[in-house]
Amino acid sequence: MAESVSGGLSGVNGKVWYRALGAKIWKFFTSIKLTIFVLLTVAIVSIIGTVVEQGKPVESYVIDYGSRWGSVILSLRFNDMYHSGWFTSILILLMANITVCTIERFPPKWKTLLKQNPNLDPSIIDRLSTRESFITDGSMDAAAQKFLSIFRKKRYRVKTGTSKDGITIYAEKGIIGRFGSDVVHLSLFFILTGAIIGSYAGFRDFAPILVGGTFKVPNAMFGLRLDKFWIDYYDTGQVRQYNSVITVVEGGKEVLTKQIWVNEPLYYKGVRFYQSSYGVAWDRIKEAEITLKRLDKNTFDQPFNIGWGELKNIPGTNYSARLVGYVSDFAFDEETRTVFSKSGDTNNPAAQIEVYDGKKLLYTPWLFFNYPGVMQAIPNSRYDLVLTGFRTIPYSGLQMNKDPGTNVVWTGCILMGVGFILAFFVYHRRIWVNVAPQSSGSSVKIGGMINKNPLGFEREFKEIAEALKGPGSMEDKK
Amino acid sequence: MNQAKIILSLMFFTMAAAFYFLTALSYVGYWVVRKHWLGQAATAFAYIALLSMTMVLVSRAGEAGHAPFSNLYESMVLFIWALTIGYLWMEKRYRMKTIGAFVMTIAFLAVIAASMLPYRFKSAEPLNPALQSKWHWLVSLLTPLGLQKYAIGWLDFHVFTTFVAYAAFAMSFGLSLMFLLRERFESKKKKNILVDMLPESDTLDELSYRTIAWGFPFLAVGIVSGAVWANYAWGTYWSWDPKETWSLITWFLYAAYLHARVTRGWKGKRAAYLSIAGFLAVVFLYWGVSFILPGLHAYA
């Protein structure tokens, strides 16, 4: 059964069906039409992702575009378009197209360009649009020798051969420019490979580190300590720069210390650390300023300061207090019955203290900076405690990024630069000369060709022709 | 900031604007009335306009204390400057003055657009943290000479290369428009005094292609240098922000143009339409993205 099917599908010339199919697919990918079509398609569909904001929470698309369009956007992955399967597939299609085209065209190009046969049929010269012919005195060999030295002086590579009526010279320059486009295509391959390596083997993370605090870097054997954070300002009050001094700690030892700022990351063992944001800690403070309120007299005592975790006697009373908690934006989770900070902003700061009578823990009240007296801190007493101030701890927000593909991408970029210089600014000039003996002197035909910039070549060709003619030769009027 | 210096750059800009007006006017005049002296005057005005624009850049650099590539207004000045240099070079090399009637009119329109920008896009501000990107090797090279404040960095390189590309694309746009005009009359064998003054359609086609062949690699260098810089400043070389994406869109359009032209022999009309589409993408990349689409490049 299987045999009869494959037999039935095998094509002409005894090729089996999968070969024929493979050849068809291959042929499909060799098409430059496909390249142009895919390039224009990528260009046009990319617009969608710049109009629809990328990477927002899923619900916001339904809110912004309505449930109908919102679900269209989400099902087509327009919300994260550039990482969607279909967009990636188009890019892979483009890459396959470029690869196949290059494989298909490079070897024949290499062959014809590098193995140029110097033996030619002189009538070829007559078919070139840039050509000239003249008669020079001196023998065929002498003229050829003179021409060779002129071409060499002008940095042309020369080959000599024979034609049916004399000697031929093939001179060329800038052949490497022909391979510029191949180098550019190769460079795209590097860039794409680097991007793929980065997306599979890299990681990105963000960590706020408190001043004086430490941080264990994920997927790495070292940690960081933030020694200092500060902001520089211009005289006008605008921010000049955000700076952090960080120390790398590895195996309990300080390895290196570096000041980083925006545009100046720290690089250590493949991971880069960037200054990305800053703020103040939302879950702790350096110290709190607390004021005792005497409810019976409705008066306030002098405020006192209490450090983080510090136990202190409340002046003028028998009680003592320990600062144990802080949130910058107070919120309470009903289910777990815990207090947390709703955000990193200082919207509703609150400090928690433990109130002791001697050694006995009485209460653990929260003191609200914005809402003093909302709950009496020490119930059933003549006192209340008011949070009248606090000193925050700044943090520095570090973005960290490990991307082992980056260097591959840069290699690709450098290759691309080289490729562009070759492709756009190195012209391949080719000149064919045929020298044939005559009754007196020799008759010379020269013709030239360039792959780009024909306007500039005309001039150069004229110069070379003049140099070859030299003094004493005359125009061939034929 | 030093008031006297601000007045200086404003003065140069006003002067440049006046000369761009005269330049465009006399190139168009030369095209219409075909007087040799008018053509000479047009070129002379263009050189003076270029000189004034150079002085705008220099005085802005003095005012801001850094290379003048940091806001929309300054980038417009750079664009006009590059376009003028490119045009004058082409005029010198190919001796075709009617192209000036189109290209220098584009330059003059750009001058008007720049002058109409609201103040917040114009003022010379100190650089914000992300824009400070001097090259260390250059700083350490210049420090012994006491010249470290003149060190440049990724910002300058990135903006400069990008705007050379934009200028080339603008020029190619002008040439493509001229081509379409000329081609329309040639194909119908119609005669028109004005159109016959323009260079041959084949020449226009070739020149349009050659300017794109300059713009394309420059845009590539602009994109790559932006990626290198982003890798330093934002921690990633590519984040599909609208400016990045549109630059890629533009680059792909011109890549399609070059492939169509070099390998499939797309010349003439189709190439001209593609070049015009490419320039529309440039305009959107430059102004549209800055004003309409939010993103990391929003400060431009």
Q: What is the pLDDT of residue A375?
A: 85
Q: What is the pLDDT of residue A441?
A: 80
Q: What is the pLDDT of residue B158?
A: 93
Query: Measured between CB atoms, which of B1, B256, B289 is closest to A36?
Result: B256
A295: closest CA of chain B, how far (Å): 51
- On the question of pLDDT at A72 being above 50, the answer is yes
Query: Measured between CB atoms, which of B129, B260, B294 is closest to A36?
Result: B260
Which pLDDT band, with edges at 50, 70 and 90, does A60 fall under? confident
Residue ending a domain, choose from A111, A129, A149: A111
Evaluate whether residue A268 is within a structural domain.
Answer: yes
Residue A340 and residue A248 share a domain: no
Which pLDDT band, with edges at 50, 70 and 90, does B27 fall under? very high
Q: What is the 3-state secondary structure (H, E, C) of chain B?
A: CCHHHHHHHHHHHHHHHHHHHHHHHHHHHHHHHCCHHHHHHHHHHHHHHHHHHHHHHHHHHHHHCCCCCCCHHHHHHHHHHHHHHHHHHHHHHHCCCHHHHHHHHHHHHHHHHHHCCCHHHCCCCCCCHHHCCECHHHHHHHHHHCCHHHCCEHHHHHHHHHHHHHHHHHHHHHHHHHHHHHHHHHHCCCCCHHHHHCCCHHHHHHHHHHHHHHHHHHHHHHHHHHHHHHHHHCCCCCCCCHHHHHHHHHHHHHHHHHHHHHHHCCCHHHHHHHHHHHHHHHHHHHHHHHHCCCCCCCCC
**A378, exposed or middle or buried, with CB in 10 Å at 0-12, 13-18, 19+?**
buried
CA angle B129, A236, B153 (to 5 degrees): 30
CA angle B88, B93, B97 (to 5 degrees): 55
Q: What is the CATH number of the domain that holds A444?
A: 3.30.160.110
A213: closest CA of chain B, how far (Å): 23
Residue A100 and residue A29 share a domain: yes
Best probe of the B interface among A39, A243, A398, by most B CBs < 10 A, is A39
Could you tell me what percent of chain A has a pLDDT over 90?
24
Query: Measured between CB atoms, which of B126, B129, B263 is closest to A32?
Result: B263
Q: What is the 3-state secondary structure (H, E, C) of A372-412?
A: CCCCCCCCCCCEEEEEEEEEEEEEEEEEEEECCCHHHHHHH
As a whole number of angstroms, the distance between CA B208 and CA B94 comes to: 13
Query: Measured between CB atoms, which of B228, B231, B249 is closest to A43?
Result: B249
As a whole number of angstroms, the distance between CA A171 and CA A29 comes to: 35
Q: What is the pLDDT of residue A311?
A: 92
- On the question of pLDDT at A292 being above 50, the answer is yes
Asked if B236 has any chain A CB less than 8 Å from its own CB, the reply is yes
* Predicted complex ipTM: 0.82
DSSP A29: H
Q: What is the pLDDT of residue B102?
A: 94
Which pLDDT band, with edges at 50, 70 and 90, does A15 fall under? low
- On the question of pLDDT at A324 being above 90, the answer is yes
Which pLDDT band, with edges at 50, 70 and 90, does A13 fall under? low
B18: closest CA of chain A, how far (Å): 33
- On the question of pLDDT at A153 being above 80, the answer is yes
- On the question of pLDDT at B5 being above 60, the answer is no
CB contact under 8 A, A39 and B248: no
The CA–CA distances, whole Å, from B195 to A220, B191, B209, B256, B274 equal 70, 8, 21, 29, 22
| Residue ranges making up the domain that contains A141 | 120-174+427-475
Q: CA-nearest residue of chain B to A404?
A: B236
Cβ-based contacts of A54 with chain B (< 8 Å): 240
Higher per-residue confidence, A471 vs B30: B30
CB contact under 8 A, A409 and B234: no
Residue A330 and residue A200 share a domain: no
Q: How many CB pairs under 8 A join A and B?
A: 118
Strand order, beta sheet including A239-250: A214-216, A223-233, A239-250, A253-261
Beta bridge partners, A157, equal A172
B110: closest CA of chain A, how far (Å): 25
Q: What is the DSSP string of A100-143?
A: HHHHHHHHHHHHHHHT--S---THHHHTSSEEEEEEESS-HHHH
CB contact under 8 A, B224 and A416: yes
As a whole number of angstroms, the distance between CA B235 and CA B76 comes to: 28
CB contact under 8 A, B231 and A424: no
Which phi and psi (to 5°) does residue A173 adopt?
-150, 145
Residue showing tokens 């653990």: A364
**Residue B85: count of CB within 10 angstroms of its CB:** 15
As a whole number of angstroms, the distance between CA A204 and CA A276 comes to: 13
- A380-433 pLDDT, tens digit per residue, is 888 999 999 999 888 888 888 888 888 999 999 999 999 999 988 899 999 989
- On the question of pLDDT at B239 being above 90, the answer is no
- On the question of pLDDT at B133 being above 90, the answer is no
Which pLDDT band, with edges at 50, 70 and 90, does B294 fall under? low
Q: What is the pLDDT of residue B1?
A: 45
Evaluate whether residue A152 is within a structural domain.
Answer: yes
Question: What's the number of domains chain A is made of?
Answer: 4
Which helix (DSSP H) or strand (DSSP E) does residue A267 occupy? strand A266-268
- B157-202 pLDDT, tens digit per residue, is 999 999 999 999 999 999 999 999 998 888 888 888 888 888 888 8
As a whole number of angstroms, the distance between CA B165 and CA B248 comes to: 13
Asked if B258 has any chain A CB less than 8 Å from its own CB, the reply is no
CB contact under 8 A, B248 and A276: no
Q: What is the pLDDT of residue B241?
A: 86
The CA–CA distances, whole Å, from A426 to A176, A432, B230, B258 equal 7, 19, 31, 16
Residue A387 and residue A288 share a domain: yes
Residue A386 and residue A288 share a domain: yes
Say what the alpha-carbon torsion angle A259, A261, A264, A268 is, to the nearest 10 degrees. 50
- On the question of pLDDT at B298 being above 70, the answer is no
Structure tokens belonging to residue B170 = 């603008």
Q: Among positive and negative, which fits the CA dihedral A314, A320, A324, A328? A: negative
- SS3 category, A341: strand
As a whole number of angstroms, the distance between CA B57 and CA B52 comes to: 9
Q: What is the pLDDT of residue B296?
A: 58
Contacts by A28-35, CB closer than 8 A, 24 or more apart: A29/A96, A29/A97, A29/A100, A29/A101, A30/A100, A30/A101, A30/A104, A31/A97, A32/A101, A32/B259, A32/B260, A32/B263, A32/B264, A33/B264, A34/A97, A35/A94, A35/A97, A35/A98, A35/A101, A35/B256, A35/B259
As a whole number of angstroms, the distance between CA B133 and CA B187 comes to: 53
Q: What is the pLDDT of residue B172?
A: 96
As a whole number of angstroms, the distance between CA B76 and CA A395 comes to: 39
Q: CA-nearest residue of chain A to B229?
A: A263
Which helix (DSSP H) or strand (DSSP E) does residue A23 occupy? helix A17-29
Q: Average pLDDT of A278-299?
A: 89
Cβ-based contacts of B128 with chain A (< 8 Å): 238-239
CB contact under 8 A, A39 and B252: yes
Residue A389 and residue A286 share a domain: yes
- On the question of pLDDT at A473 being above 50, the answer is no
Residue A256 and residue A170 share a domain: no
- B81-112 pLDDT, tens digit per residue, is 999 999 999 999 888 899 999 999 999 999 99
Evaluate whether residue A1 is within a structural domain.
Answer: no
- SS3 category, A437: strand
The answer to whether the CB of A278 falls within 8 A of the CB of A394 is yes
CA angle B215, B218, B224 (to 5 degrees): 140
CB contact under 8 A, B252 and A240: no
Which helix (DSSP H) or strand (DSSP E) does residue A299 occupy? strand A299-300
Q: What is the pLDDT of residue B160?
A: 93
Cβ-based contacts of A276 with chain B (< 8 Å): 235
Q: Average pLDDT of B9-13?
A: 87
Residue A289 and residue A276 share a domain: no
Residue A316 and residue A444 share a domain: no
Which helix (DSSP H) or strand (DSSP E) does residue A48 occupy? helix A32-51
Averaged confidence pLDDT in chain B:
87
Q: CA-nearest residue of chain B to A264?
A: B232
Cβ-based contacts of A243 with chain B (< 8 Å): none
Asked if B273 has any chain A CB less than 8 Å from its own CB, the reply is no
Evaluate whether residue A191 is within a structural domain.
Answer: yes
CB contact under 8 A, B232 and A265: yes
Residue A92 and residue A17 share a domain: yes
Residue A259 and residue A237 share a domain: yes
Residue A457 and residue A436 share a domain: yes
- On the question of pLDDT at A470 being above 50, the answer is yes
Evaluate whether residue A350 is within a structural domain.
Answer: yes
- On the question of pLDDT at B6 being above 80, the answer is no
DSSP A424: I
Query: Measured between CB atoms, which of B132, B248, B263 is closest to A263?
Result: B132
The CA–CA distances, whole Å, from A456 to A156, A164, B85, B263 equal 17, 32, 20, 21
Evaluate whether residue A190 is within a structural domain.
Answer: yes
| Cα within 13 Å of Cα(A411), Cβ side | 12
Asked if B135 has any chain A CB less than 8 Å from its own CB, the reply is no
Residue showing tokens 């705007």: B163
A274: closest CA of chain B, how far (Å): 6
- On the question of pLDDT at A274 being above 60, the answer is yes
Residue ending a domain, choose from A59, A90, A111: A111
Structure tokens belonging to residue B221 = 């260098």
Cβ-based contacts of B234 with chain A (< 8 Å): 274, 399
Residue showing tokens 């191949």: A182
Asked if B206 has any chain A CB less than 8 Å from its own CB, the reply is yes
CB contact under 8 A, A32 and B248: no
Averaged confidence pLDDT in chain A:
86
Say what the alpha-carbon torsion angle A189, A194, A197, A202 is, to the nearest 10 degrees. -160
Asked if B224 has any chain A CB less than 8 Å from its own CB, the reply is yes
Q: What is the pLDDT of residue A373?
A: 82
Q: What is the pLDDT of residue B200?
A: 86
Q: Which residues of B125-160 are buried (b: 16+ CB within 10 A; e: fewer)?
A: bbbebbbbbbeeeebeebeeeeeeeebbbbbbbbbb
Q: Average pLDDT of A336-350?
A: 87
Structure tokens belonging to residue B230 = 């982003």
Evaluate whether residue A376 is within a structural domain.
Answer: yes
Q: Which of B40-44, B137-141, B261-265 shows the lowest per-residue confidence on average (mean pLDDT)?
A: B261-265
Evaluate whether residue A387 is within a structural domain.
Answer: yes
A310: closest CA of chain B, how far (Å): 39
Higher per-residue confidence, B232 vs B295: B232
